[in-house]
Amino acid sequence: MKNQWEILVVDDEEVMRESLAAWLKEDGYTVDTAASGHEAIEKAGEKDYAIYFIDLKMPGGIDGIETMMQIRKLHRDASIIIITAYATVDTAIAAMKEGAQEYIVKPCNLEEISLLVTRILKVKTLQRENAMLKKRLTKTYTLNDIVSKNPRMQEIFQLIRDVANLRSTVLIQGESGTGKELIARAIHSSSDRANMPFVGVSCAALAETLLESELFGYEKGAFTGATTQKKGKFEQAHGGTLFLDEIGDISPKLQMDLLRVLQERSFYRVGGSEEIRVDVRVIAATNVNLQEAVRNGRFRDDLYYRLNVINIRIPPLRERLEDIPLLARHFIERLSVEIGKDVEDISENALQLLLSHDWPGNVRELENCIERAMVTCRSRILTRADFAFLAKEDEGRDPWFVPAITLQELEKQAIESAIKRSRGNIKEAAAQLGIERSTLYDKIKKYEIMR
Amino acid sequence: MSFLYLASIGRIEEELLLFLEARLGEVFGLQVGRLHPFVEPSYAFDPIRGQYSSVALMRQLIEICPDGARLLGITEKDLFIPVLSFVFGQAQLNGRLAVVSLARLHQEFYRLAPDPAILEQRALKESMHELGHTFGLVHCPERSCPMSLATNIRQLDLKKTQWCVSCEIMLREAMGQSR
């Protein structure tokens, strides 16, 4: 993807500057220009460019070599190409000594300049791919890895920077697929605990007893099969961060245990009598509305307040549509390396289709969708046709499909699902159905529904 | 914007102009017209380089480009931009102007016998390339696509007069938007 590379052209002569910039744009790069060394340094201070083309002779007290030296102070590995109309051995040596990657004499051959740019960017692409794959492997995500220009997300990034070094508990709320773990990892990486462990546990994936021994560990002989002592996640995360995903799903007993650890900063292993003290920062995440769970009595309010010291609410993707093009291109870049397919971009029409989808599965759904399109696409550009499956899914998603059954059967099914959703809490199920509790009891009896 | 005008800058063989008029009309699906021929572009001549500045030529063309249309200037003069030793042509990316130089498309430039058919094909490919830029297309990695970058005549000859799948899609989208 060429347009991901930004090039800065620095020349005091407008025609020289603009014609080189225009040619590089035709070659697919994003190009910025500067009319003086001062302007170039200012621009380089704002961001690092992939390549700097700098004219050697510029008036105004700061020539090409000086400009290059200043830029290299800002970006040690900057790739700089010095351009000059006067080829002398002395200036060439001086430029190379100060760290110019290349030195070209104008007018130069089209082939020469094209090869030069390709060669430099090939190395940069490999470096970038290497960093990207390393990151995927080690999962050391930082704030820079979260792609968003949405103002609410920017506020979240600022909040993360502000609270990173505190030990306060963080509660991350957001729909499934919004990137809660990524945020948790970014908090950890931005904190002074970054070099200590980040330990993640999905609370919904384990049964109550398993989760208890997973979190707190167990002593030898604590239960059948406990042949050795095992350290729990809290101990493993000592000095670092413990990420408790899907915290809304834990049982009342574990809620109490967790509250105690958060208050006392100590706990006992299952079957143990020794008090273990830990220094752990807890980040919890959930896709359920915890406040509502507290109101319904399913979640302890004291634990909720303990967890909710710093609250981060990630907006769903449909509320930050401006991020879709950015995210789509980010996934294309990453996946083209991972799946080894040379896809460069996405067409405007395809983006329009993505923008019209409501993304119930959020960023994760978008990522899967891009991957699916990339696997089947035939050109370098993802087109609307490559996302035909998405349009079909949208058409097929009937919000309320009712099979041919009797009204009584329908009522029975509605009651069964409400009870299931409320996990047997009749008061809540009745509220969901919009009927009195006594009426619900009557109907449970009538339809012989198991609770 | 469904109009494309061709303009000869200096003398150009009428047969070649007719050929380009017909083929470019087919390729882009545009109505093609012809502007009055322009005089030799002495204003763009650079005596030090012995070539013609394509930037100066484009500046002249912008003055006469009819509203809402694209304009392709064709010249026999050898063109350059300051940083490069020569260019086969130049265009405004996402703009309305393009210019093509025939100077290095002739077989005679390479000390070979003249061949009007080869010249036609080369001129068509280069015109497609520069006009492609006006539709926002950038250089394509497919060597056979007219949008690939040709730094010498051999690379230009390797191109076909048919877009690759990706450029075809991008062009179709861009044309849909500009119509």
Band of pLDDT at residue A127, cut at 50, 70 and 90: confident
Q: Are A300 and A293 contacting, i.e. CB atoms less than 8 angstroms apart?
A: no
* Subunit contact A83:B83, Cβ cutoff 8 A: yes
Band of pLDDT at residue A402, cut at 50, 70 and 90: low
Residue with tokens 């694209």: B70
Cross-chain CB nearest to B138 (options A16, A28, A378): A28
* Residue A376: both structure tokens together: 């089947």
Q: Any residues with CB less than 8 A from the CB of A155 and at least 6 apart, and which?
A: none
Band of pLDDT at residue A129, cut at 50, 70 and 90: confident
Cross-chain CB nearest to B169 (options A18, A108, A347): A347
Q: What is the largest CA-CA distance in chain B?
A: 44
Weakest mean pLDDT among A200-214, B38-52, B56-70, B157-171 = A200-214
- Residue B86 near chain A (CB below 8 Å): yes
Residue whose C-alpha is closest to residue A122's, from A146, A99, A101, A145 = A101
**pLDDT tens-digit map of A46-66:** 989 999 999 988 887 888 889
Q: Which residues in chain A are closer than 8 Å to B49, comparing Cβ atoms?
A: 107
Q: Which residues in chain B are closer than 8 Å to A3, comparing Cβ atoms?
A: 138
Q: Any residues with CB less than 8 A from the CB of A103 and at least 6 apart, and which?
A: A81, A82, A84, A92, A95, A96
* Residue B1: both structure tokens together: 């914007």
Average pLDDT of the segment spanning A113-139:
85
For residue A286, give Cα distances in angstroms to A202, A297, A322. 10, 17, 25
Radius of gyration of chain A (CA): 29
Average pLDDT of the segment spanning A214-230:
87
Interface test with B, best of A110, A345, A381, A384 (most B CBs within 10 A): A110
* Subunit contact B166:A16, Cβ cutoff 8 A: no
Q: Are A272 and A219 contacting, i.e. CB atoms less than 8 angstroms apart?
A: yes
Q: Which residues in chain A are closer than 8 Å to B81, comparing Cβ atoms?
A: 19-20, 22-23
Average pLDDT of the segment spanning A407-424:
81
* Residue A120: both structure tokens together: 């430099």
* Residue A225: both structure tokens together: 């099969």
Residue A407: pLDDT over 50: yes
Band of pLDDT at residue B54, cut at 50, 70 and 90: very high
Band of pLDDT at residue B177, cut at 50, 70 and 90: low
* Subunit contact B87:A110, Cβ cutoff 8 A: yes
Residue B137: pLDDT over 70: yes
**pLDDT tens-digit map of B77-100:** 999 998 899 999 999 999 999 999
A198 — phi, psi (to 5°)?
Answer: -115, 115
Task: Give pLDDT, residue A237.
Answer: 94
Task: Give pLDDT, residue B179.
Answer: 47
Q: Would you name the residues of B annotated as active-site residues?
A: 130
Q: What is the largest CA-CA distance in chain A?
A: 99
Task: Give pLDDT, residue A221.
Answer: 85
SS3 helix, strand, coil % of chain A, rounded to 5? 50, 15, 35
Query: What average pLDDT does chain B have?
Result: 93
Residue A396: pLDDT over 60: no
How far is it, in rounded angstroms, from Cα A81 to Cα A68? 9
Q: Are B158 and B143 contacting, i.e. CB atoms less than 8 angstroms apart?
A: yes
3-class secondary structure, A53: strand
* Subunit contact B85:A109, Cβ cutoff 8 A: yes
Top pLDDT among A5 and A402 is at A5
Band of pLDDT at residue B115, cut at 50, 70 and 90: very high
Task: Give pLDDT, residue A21.
Answer: 93
As a dihedral over the C-alpha atoms of residue A90, residue A94, residue A97, residue A99, rounded to 10 degrees, the angle is -130
% of residues, chain A, pLDDT over 90: 43
Interface test with A, best of B53, B54, B83 (most A CBs within 10 A): B83
Q: Any residues with CB less than 8 A from the CB of B73 and at least 6 apart, and which?
A: B7, B8, B9, B38, B57, B58, B61, B97, B98, B99, B100
For residue A295, give Cα distances in angstroms to A172, A224, A304. 19, 38, 11
Task: Give pLDDT, residue A409.
Answer: 78
Q: How far is A114 from chain B (nearest CA, A)?
A: 8
For residue A147, give Cα distances in angstroms to A10, A179, A188, A416. 29, 11, 17, 42
Average pLDDT of the segment spanning A202-229:
85
How far is it, in rounded angstroms, from Cα B49 to Cα A107? 9
Beta bridge partners, A8, equal A32, A52
**pLDDT tens-digit map of A27-50:** 989 999 999 999 999 999 998 999
Residue with tokens 């012809």: B34
Residue whose C-alpha is closest to residue B144's, from B170, B162, B129, B119 = B162
Weakest mean pLDDT among A257-261, A436-440, B55-59 = A436-440
Band of pLDDT at residue A220, cut at 50, 70 and 90: confident
Residue B5 host element (H or E): strand B3-9
